[in-house]
Amino acid sequence: MDLPYITDVLDTISDANEKYGDPRTRNWFMLFGTPVPVWILTLSYLIFVTYAGPKFMQNRKPYSLQYFMVIYNIGLVILSVYMFVEILLSTSAAGYDWLCTPYTKDTWKDPKEQRVANVLWYYGISKAIELLDTVCMILRKKGNQVTFLHVFHHATMLNIWWWVPTFIPGGQTWFGSCLNCLVHVVMYSYYGLAVIPSLRDKLWWKRYITSFQLIQFVITFAHSLQTYTSGCDFPLWGQYLLMGYMIIMVCLFGNFYIQSYIKNKNTRITVAKSKKTDSANGMISELHSSNGHSAKNGSITNGHSSQDVKHRPHPTN
């Protein structure tokens, strides 16, 4: 089957890889000098999430996966801790500056940079492993958790982290990935504990994970903006990619935070006030009834018929 457009795109990427790609990482696993394997994995993921997975689970009971989920999340916590520490140690050994570390062809020649490239490659592979988050949600029939934000974030991170270790596995790339590993230590610790029923109600810090993520995006954007304004010798396309993606993440995660925690909180307050008012009205009705002012079959109570008071709609309906 001839696909000239895709062939042209792949030829362009291949030429760019030959000219500008890091020769150290070119044939590493998941990179292979071409994005095709990552594209296939992404397409398979999207098909499973949007069609195959829900179809498979349609007439099946949800799988518990409790033991798997605990082991899986603990594994990701350990991996995230390792990558966080290793990024700090390897960049320190390579003499990285926190504000500006250039990435040029000379970077390839520095033996100390090999350690940095290795851990950034591990980080890219972790984005493929994390696709199992969504697979587990679908197998457990937690469809309400499979949001656009969730799927978009996982699919795009997988693809971005083909480009990064292929072309810029070093320099300013270290900062955002290091900070993200720290966030994931907290996040996957929560997920692992939340699977255990006896601990679920004791985990009070769920909302703060989203706050931590938003802070991460803002800090990473500020760091990238500083890279741009200071004229740091780091590929411009990498700076634009990172700043643009951080803006998208702030918008999507910010909207999630507002919908989940601010609007829901206001709704709960409104419901509580409504219940309190209804309760007070009920007490008044009982008082009138005890004084002989209430009658059956549609009598007037506190300005409303007794039928109306009983069937007053919930304010959220």
Average pLDDT over residues 134-140: 97
d(CA 47, CA 111): 42
Q: What is the pLDDT of residue 206?
A: 85
pTM here is 0.83
Q: How far is CA 138 from CA 112, 147, 159, 221, in A?
A: 43, 12, 22, 32
List, for residues 3-40, the tens digit of each pLDDT value.
778 899 999 999 999 999 999 999 999 999 999 999 99
Q: How far is CA 293 from CA 161, 246, 278, 284, 300, in A?
A: 74, 65, 19, 11, 9
Q: Domain residue spans in the chain?
A: 4-203
- Tell me which of 153, 154, 184, 223 is the catalytic residue: 153
Name the 3-class secondary structure at 283: helix
Active-site residue 153, yes or no?
yes
Question: Helices (DSSP H) in 168-262: which residue ranges?
Answer: 173-194, 197-200, 206-229, 236-257
Cβ neighbors of 217 (< 8 A, separation 6 or more) are: 246, 249, 250, 253
> Cα torsion for 192, 132, 210, 125, to the nearest 10°?
110
Share of the chain above pLDDT 70, in %: 82
Q: What is the pLDDT of residue 283?
A: 45
Do 48 and 138 meet the contact criterion of CB atoms below 8 Å apart? yes
Is the pLDDT at 214 greater than 70, yes or no? yes
- As given in the structure block, the two tokens for residue 274 are 């409504």
